Chain A
Amino acid sequence: MTQILLKNFEVEGLTTLKVYEKLGGYKSLKKAFSMKPEEVLNEVKNSGLRGRGGAGFPTGLKWSFLAKDSFPRYFACNADESEPGTCKDRILLEKNPHLLIEGLIVSSYACLIETGYIYFRGEFQDVADLMDEAIAEAYKKGYLGKNILGSGFNFDLYTHLGAGAYICGEESALLNSLTGMRGEPRSKPPFPAVQGLYDKPTVINNVETVCVVPWIVNEGSEAYKKLGTEKSTGTKLVSVSGHVNKPANVEIEMGTPVSKIIEMCGGMRNGNKLKAFIPGGSSVPMLGIEHIDVAYDYESLKEAGSMLGSGALIVMDETTNIVEATMRLAYFYMHESCGKCTPCREGTRWLYQMLGEVLNRRGSPETIKTLQDACDNMAMKTFCPLADAAVAPVVSSIDLFPEDYKSFFAEAAATAG
C-alpha cells in the first residue's frame, strides 16, 4: 500500500533535518519554486485533496478563495488536535516535524503567503518544543527566512500554544485565540479567506492536509488521484482506538472497508463481536455492525449516515455500555463548550444530566423523548458546529440502540417493584 504520511517512520532520527533530507526531504521546494505559485495551487486543486481536519473541504478550492490583491496573507496551521479518538496529527508532529514545515513552505508559496503560524493545542507543549527545534534547523539551512533557496520567496514560521480548549480547533476560534483573544468562534461571513488573522486573508489547514502537499508536488496530482476513490482521493491516516487488539494510527487508501482497517489493527479484542463504531471522531454519528464493511471514504460514510470527520475510528465491542459511552462523550462536550451561545452552553449540560438520570435508573421513555427533543433544539441552531457534534452520539445511540436505553428503565422498574 502506498505510504505518503507514515513513510520512513521507522527510520531513526527522522526528526532531524539531516536524516529527513537524506530520505528526500525538502525536495518538493525546488520543484515548487520552479513552478508559478498558481501552478502549484492548481496541482493541489487537481489532486482532489480534501481537508483532513474534519469538514473535508477541497483544499485547493479553499486556497483559491483567498481575497485577491489583499496582502499580507497568513497561513494558520491547525495543530489543535482535540477530537476524542484522534491522534493522527500528533504522530506526524512528533515523528516527522520537517514534513509539516516542508508542506507549509510549499503551500504558502502557492498561496502567496509569507508568514505562517502553527497553532498547537495547549497540551502539546513537548510537540511544540520539538517543532521549534525543527524550525530552527530549517532556518539555519535556509528553508525558512528570506529568499529561500534563491527563489526570492520569503517565509517565516512561528509556533503558538493554545490554552487547551477544544473549540480552538474551530478555525475562527483558532484565529481569535492566536491573536490573544478569547477562544470563541467568529461570525461568518466574513470567512477567514477574506478576513482572517489580523483581518487579513488567511488559510487554515489541518496538519495532515499540509503534510500531503509535498508528495503531490513531487509526484504530481495525477499520481495522487490514482489513490483512493474518485471523489475521495489519496490516503488517510486513521486513528483506530477502542476494542481492537492493536490500537494504532494506520495509513489507508481511501475506500478501504472498515472491516479491513479493524483487521489491520489485529482484529477485535478477545475475538468479541463488534457492537458499534464511530468512524470519524466523537463528533459524528455512530454506526452499527451492519456497516462493518462500509468503505472508508467521505461519500460512503455519509451514505451510511455518518461522516469521515477527523479520521478517528472508535471501535466498541459487545461488552460496551452504550449509554455510559454516550454519557462519557456528553461530558466531553459539556466541558468543552465555549459558552458563547445558549443552546450549546446550557444544552450540553442538560444532555449530560439527562443521560446520568438514565444511567442511574431514574429514566423513563419521557426522558428519552426530552433528550431527543433537546437534541433537536440544539442541532443546527448554534453558532458553530460544536453543538451538532455534541448531539450526534446521543441521537445516533438512541436510534441504534434503543434497547440499551430501555434496559435501564426495565431495571429501574424492577428495583422500584
Chain B
Amino acid sequence: MEKETVTLTIDGKTATVPKGTNVVDAAKSVGIEIPIFCYHEKMLRLGCCRMCLVEVEKMPKLMTACTIDATEGMVVKNDTPKVVKGRQGVLEFTLLNHPLDCPVCDKGGECPLQDNTFNYGAGDTRMEFKRFNNVKKKELSPVITLDRERCIACQRCTTYSEVIEGDQALVMHNRGFHNDIGTFNDQPYDTRFSGNVVDICPVGALTNSIFRFQARTWDLDNAKTLCAHCGCNCNIEFGARENELMRVVSRQNDAVDDGWICDKGRFGYEFVSSKNRILEPGIRKDGEMNVASLDEACDETVSKLKTIIEEHGPKSVGFIGSPFASNEELYLYQKLMRLGVGTNNIDHKSYDDTPGLPVAHYDFTDIESSDLTVLIASDPTEELPILDLRIKKAVTRLNRNLIVLNDQKTLMDKYASLSLRYNVGSDGVALAGLAGAIADSLKQGEAPKVEKLEKTTGIKPNSFKDFAEKMIAAKKVCVIYNPAALTGNSVAIVKNLLSVLNQKPEGECGAIPAAPATNALGAMDMGILPDFYPGGVSLSDDSKIKEVWGESAPTEKGFTTCEMFEKAASGDLKALVVFRSNPIVDFPGGDKIEEALKKVEFLVAHDMLHTETTALAHVVIPSVGPGFDEGTTTNIGGRVQYRRKGLKAESFPDWRVLAKLLSGFEIEAKYLDSFTVTAELAKKVSGYEEIRRGSIQKEGKTRPAQASVNGKTPEVTSPDSIDGFKLRVSEKLFAKDKILESESALAHHFSEPKAILNSVDAKKLGIKSGDRVKVSSGNRGLSVEAEVEDSCNPGAVVVSNAGDEYRVLALIQDHNATVQVSKE
C-alpha cells in the first residue's frame, strides 16, 4: 500500500514526505538541519527543549518543528531573524545554569549542546548570577552516573525508559527548576537496556561510569563493528585508545537494532582484556602444558591428527565448532575437517536442528509489519534482548498482536494477547497439536483430540482452536522459535507447523529461527553440521557435493556432538578439535562430557579464554575473538554483517591459524585476510554469493532464505512419565560465565540460581519461597533458593543458568532431564 504523502517547502526547498512526518524529519529529508535536543526520531515528540523553533506561514507564533506534522502546502522558514533570535534565546536559557565544564566532560566533541551553541548560539550570555550548583556525581547504577548540573531536562531519557523500555524505571522528580531525573525510592536504574540513555543524552549528564573521565572522544579510534554477545548482532562502535577498549556505543541500523543496544553489549566487553585470555599456544607434554609457538602447535596438531587418521580412519576424528565464531572461521574449519581430515563428524550444538525453512525467513523489520508475532520457546528478554525491544515496539506502538508459547513464564507474557504454557518436555506434542488445529481450521486435516492433548501438554482444549484462528486470521504472521529450547525433534515439528500455516489461502507468513548464540545461523549456513554441507546442502545431494567440494568429499553422515561424546567415552573417537566451545559447562550432562574428553587421545582446544575444556586439551591454540577479529556473522534474521576489528591482537588471527592447519593437510590456503576467505565462501556457499566487503559495509545484507529439505511429517512422541521433576534451564542475560566474570561492570546483575516451583508442587513438598532446596540428579546436586511461582506447569522445575560455577546443565543426565527436588 502506498503511503499518503504531503508536499511542503522549507527555506524554499520542496520536500515530499509521508503523511505524519514532523517538520524536523521533513527538513532532514531535503538536507536542512533543524536543531534539536529533546526530539528523537524513535520516540515521542516532546516539545520540551524548544530548540527547533521555526516560522510557519499563517501561524502567528514560532512553532516547534518536532511537534508539528508536515501538511500539504505548508511553508516553513528556518532562517528568519525571528527564528534566529528565538533559538539564541532558547540556547541562552539552556546555558544559564549549565556548568560549561566541557574541558572535562565526556560528551565533549560529540555534544549536541556544543554543536547547537556553535551553530545557533548568541556567542555570549547575559547571565551575571552565580549559576545553580547541583550534584556532580549521582550514581544511578554501577554503570550509569548522572551529572545533575549538566542535565538540561530534555526528558529524552525518561521518555526512553517509558516508551522504549516500557517500564518507567527512570522518571523525572520534582518540578520546575528543581526537576531531577531518578528512580523510585532511589533504587538503582539497572534495567537491561539502561546504557542507551548515555547515547541519547544530548549533553554530558548521563555518563557511562566506566568511560567517565577516561578519554576524550576525539582521541578514540572508532571501529564500526558488531556486538558478539547474541544472535541479534547489533551494530556498535568500538572506541579504543592506544589499543585499549574505552567504550562501546550503539550504531544505528534500523534493520537490526533500531538504534539500541543492551547493557551486555555496551558494558560486557571486559573479556577483551581478561586475565583469563589465552595468549600463547601450548602443547602438553608429560601432563604439563608448555608454551609453544604457533607453528609448533599447528604442526603438533596436524601430525597427531594424521597419525590417528592413519591408524583409526577419519571417522575417529571429530570437530565441535562454535556458534559464536565468524562465518569465515567456521567455513575454514569445516573445510579442514571435510577435505583435510575427511570426516563429517562436525557439529556445534546440543539440540536437533536442520538448515532452511519451509516459509520466508523474516528479519527484524518484519516483526513491525506482521500483525501477529508468535514466540515459540523463546525468551527474548534474556536470550536476544534487542528482539525484546522490537517486539515491544510492535505491540505497544504499532498495535500488533503477540502470542507466546512457552513452557516457562517470560517477561513477554504481559505483552501477549494469548499466552500458552505447555508442560516442560511436551513441546513436540503441543506443537503438533497446534499444527493439527491449524490444519483442521483450514479443513486440511483431522481435528486434533484436544482433550487428550490437554493431559499431556497442559494446554486448555479451547486454546488450540483459539490459537489456530488467530494464526489464520492474521494477514502476516511472524513465527519466532528458539531451537535451543526445544526438545527432541520439535524443530522439525515447528517447521511442519509452518508448512501447514503456509497453506492458508490468504496472507503471508515467515519465521525467525532465534537461537541465542551470536552466529548460530551462520554455523548452520557454514555446514557445521554432521549431515549438511554449507548452504544447507544435504548429504543426499551427492552430485552437488562432488561438484563443489570435489570427488573426495565425504558423504557419510557424521556424528552429532552427543554421539561424538558417546564415541569418545567408548574410545572410538580418538581425536577431537574443539573451537571456541566449552561443552563441559555449556552442554547438557557436563560430567559425562568431561569424562569423555578425558578419554580422548588427542584433544585440541582453539579458544579465546581458558575453560574447563581447554584445561584438558593436549594442544591449546589462542583464538583472538570479538574485538580483535574480523569477518562476517549472520544474525537470526539472516542478515550477514561485517564485524570489524577494534583492537590489534598480539596473536594471530584465526583465519591464519586455519590456513596453517589447512596447509598441513596439503590444502591450498593462500589467504591474505579474512575477506579473501569471504570471497571464497561466497563462491562455495549458496546464499552467500552476494556477500562481499562492499555489499555489507553499511547495513549488511540479508542472505536469501534456504528452503528446508522436504521430509515426511515428523513423528510425535509423547514425553515419558518420570519419577521426579523435569528440569527446565532458563537462560540469563547477565550470567556469571567466562565472558562476564566476577570483576565485570555488570556484576551487580549477577544472581544465584533459583529453583522456581509451581505452587501445586511446592505445596506437596511443603516448600515456601525463600526455602533452601536441593535440586539433584545422579551424583550432582545444587543447593538453591526456592521460589514458588507458577512459571512452569506442575511437574517441572525451572532453574536459572546463573553462571558457570553452578554447572546447572550438569543436572541434565538423561533425555528427560529428570531431577529430584527436596527441602534442605
**B149-163 CB contacts (< 8 Å) to partner A:** 152-153, 155
Instruction: Name the B residues within 8 Å of A381 (CB-CB).
Output: 50, 53, 61-62, 86, 89-90
CA distance A335 to B50 in the complex (A): 20
Cβ B126 vs Cβ A345 within 8 A: no
B176: contacting residue among A182, A334, A357, CB under 8 A: A334
CB distance from A80 to the nearest CB of B (A): 15
> Given that A187-B45, A343-B89, A345-B153 are contacting pairs, would A380 and B176 also be in contact in the complex, using a CB cutoff of 8 Å?
no
Q: Is the interface of B mostly helix, strand, loop or mixed?
A: loop
> Given that A337-B176, A342-B49 are contacting pairs, would A377 and B94 also be in contact in the complex, using a CB cutoff of 8 Å?
no
CB distance from B122 to the nearest CB of A (A): 10
Residue-wise, chain A 340-368 has the 8 Å CB interface mask toward B (1 for contact) of: 11110111111001000100000000000
Q: Does A339 lie at the interface of the complex (its beta carbon under 8 Å from any beta carbon of B)?
A: yes
Q: Does B716 lie at the interface of the complex (its beta carbon under 8 Å from any beta carbon of A)?
A: no
> Given that A350-B127, A377-B86 are contacting pairs, would A334 and B50 also be in contact in the complex, using a CB cutoff of 8 Å?
no
Instruction: Name the B residues within 8 Å of A383 (CB-CB).
Output: 47-48, 50, 64
Cβ B47 vs Cβ A341 within 8 A: yes
Q: Does A165 lie at the interface of the complex (its beta carbon under 8 Å from any beta carbon of B)?
A: yes
**B178-221 CB contacts (< 8 Å) to partner A:** 178-179
CB distance from A151 to the nearest CB of B (A): 37
Q: Does A8 lie at the interface of the complex (its beta carbon under 8 Å from any beta carbon of B)?
A: no
CA distance A334 to B45 in the complex (A): 25
Instruction: Name the B residues within 8 Å of A377 (CB-CB).
Output: 85-86, 88-90, 92-93
A349: contacting residue among B48, B90, B177, CB under 8 A: B177
Q: Which residue of A lies closest to B37 (CB)?
A: A342
Cβ B94 vs Cβ A346 within 8 A: yes
Q: Which residue of B lies closest to A352 (CB)?
A: B177
Q: Does B14 lie at the interface of the complex (its beta carbon under 8 Å from any beta carbon of A)?
A: no
**B35-69 CB contacts (< 8 Å) to partner A:** 45-51, 53, 60-62, 64, 67
CB distance from B46 to the nearest CB of A (A): 8
Q: Does A259 lie at the interface of the complex (its beta carbon under 8 Å from any beta carbon of B)?
A: no
Instruction: Name the B residues within 8 Å of A165 (CB-CB).
Output: 175
**B568-627 CB contacts (< 8 Å) to partner A:** none
Q: Does B309 lie at the interface of the complex (its beta carbon under 8 Å from any beta carbon of A)?
A: no
Instruction: Name the B residues within 8 Å of A346 (CB-CB).
Output: 93-94, 96-97, 177
Instruction: Name the B residues within 8 Å of A338 (CB-CB).
Output: 175-176
Cβ A342 vs Cβ B177 within 8 A: no
> Given that A341-B50, A349-B177, A377-B90 are contacting pairs, would A187 and B153 also be in contact in the complex, using a CB cutoff of 8 Å?
no
Q: Does B118 lie at the interface of the complex (its beta carbon under 8 Å from any beta carbon of A)?
A: no
Count residues of B near A (Cβ-Cβ below 8 Å): 38
Q: Does A370 lie at the interface of the complex (its beta carbon under 8 Å from any beta carbon of B)?
A: yes
Q: Does A382 lie at the interface of the complex (its beta carbon under 8 Å from any beta carbon of B)?
A: yes
Instruction: Name the A residues within 8 Å of B49 (CB-CB).
Output: 341-342
Q: Does B739 lie at the interface of the complex (its beta carbon under 8 Å from any beta carbon of A)?
A: no
Instruction: Name the A residues within 8 Å of B86 (CB-CB).
Output: 377, 381
Instruction: Name the A residues within 8 Å of B89 (CB-CB).
Output: 343, 373-374, 376-378, 381
Cβ A343 vs Cβ B90 within 8 A: yes
Instruction: Name the A residues within 8 Å of B174 (CB-CB).
Output: 339
Q: Does A156 lie at the interface of the complex (its beta carbon under 8 Å from any beta carbon of B)?
A: no
Q: Is the interface of A mostly helix, strand, loop or mixed?
A: helix
Instruction: Name the B residues within 8 Å of A373 (CB-CB).
Output: 89, 126
Cβ B50 vs Cβ A187 within 8 A: no
CB distance from A188 to the nearest CB of B (A): 9
Cβ B129 vs Cβ A380 within 8 A: no
Cβ B85 vs Cβ A339 within 8 A: no
Q: Which residue of B lies closest to A338 (CB)?
A: B175
Cβ A335 vs Cβ B176 within 8 A: yes
CB distance from B77 to the nearest CB of A (A): 15
CA distance A381 to B59 in the complex (A): 13
Cβ B176 vs Cβ A336 within 8 A: yes
CB distance from A177 to the nearest CB of B (A): 12
CA distance A349 to B126 in the complex (A): 14
Cβ B93 vs Cβ A347 within 8 A: yes
Q: Does B172 lie at the interface of the complex (its beta carbon under 8 Å from any beta carbon of A)?
A: yes
Most A CB contacts (10 A, CB to CB) among B62, B90, B176 go to B176
Cβ B96 vs Cβ A182 within 8 A: no
Cβ B61 vs Cβ A339 within 8 A: no
CA distance A337 to B93 in the complex (A): 14
CA distance A382 to B49 in the complex (A): 9
Most A CB contacts (10 A, CB to CB) among B48, B152, B174 go to B48
Cβ B48 vs Cβ A187 within 8 A: no
Cβ A182 vs Cβ B172 within 8 A: yes
Instruction: Name the B residues within 8 Å of A187 (CB-CB).
Output: 45-47, 67
Instruction: Name the B residues within 8 Å of A380 (CB-CB).
Output: 60-62
> Given that A350-B93, A381-B53, A381-B89 are contacting pairs, would A345 and B179 also be in contact in the complex, using a CB cutoff of 8 Å?
yes
CA distance A341 to B46 in the complex (A): 9
Instruction: Name the B residues within 8 Å of A340 (CB-CB).
Output: 48, 153, 155
CB distance from B99 to the nearest CB of A (A): 14
Cβ A343 vs Cβ B177 within 8 A: no
CB distance from B472 to the nearest CB of A (A): 31
CA distance A348 to B175 in the complex (A): 13
CA distance A383 to B60 in the complex (A): 15
CA distance A190 to B85 in the complex (A): 29
Instruction: Name the A residues within 8 Å of B61 (CB-CB).
Output: 380-381
Instruction: Name the B residues within 8 Å of A341 (CB-CB).
Output: 47-50
> Given that A350-B96, A383-B47, A383-B50 are contacting pairs, would A342 and B90 also be in contact in the complex, using a CB cutoff of 8 Å?
yes
CA distance A183 to B174 in the complex (A): 10
Instruction: Name the A residues within 8 Å of B67 (CB-CB).
Output: 187
Q: Which residue of B lies closest to A382 (CB)?
A: B50
Q: What are 25 A-B interface contacts by the 8 Å CB criterion?
A: A183-B175, A187-B45, A187-B46, A187-B47, A187-B67, A335-B176, A339-B172, A339-B176, A340-B48, A341-B47, A342-B90, A342-B94, A343-B89, A343-B93, A345-B93, A345-B177, A345-B179, A348-B177, A373-B126, A377-B86, A377-B88, A377-B89, A381-B50, A381-B89, A382-B50
Q: Which residues from chain B sit less than 8 Å from chain A, CB to CB?
A: 45-51, 53, 60-62, 64, 67, 85-86, 88-90, 92-94, 96-97, 126-127, 129, 132, 152-153, 155, 171-172, 174-179
Q: Would you list the 6 A-B pairs with minimal beta carbon distance, nearest first? A: A377-B89, A339-B179, A346-B93, A337-B176, A380-B61, A339-B176
**What would 7 more interface pairs be, CB under 8 Å, given A338-B176, A377-B93?**
A182-B171, A334-B177, A340-B153, A342-B153, A345-B93, A346-B177, A383-B50
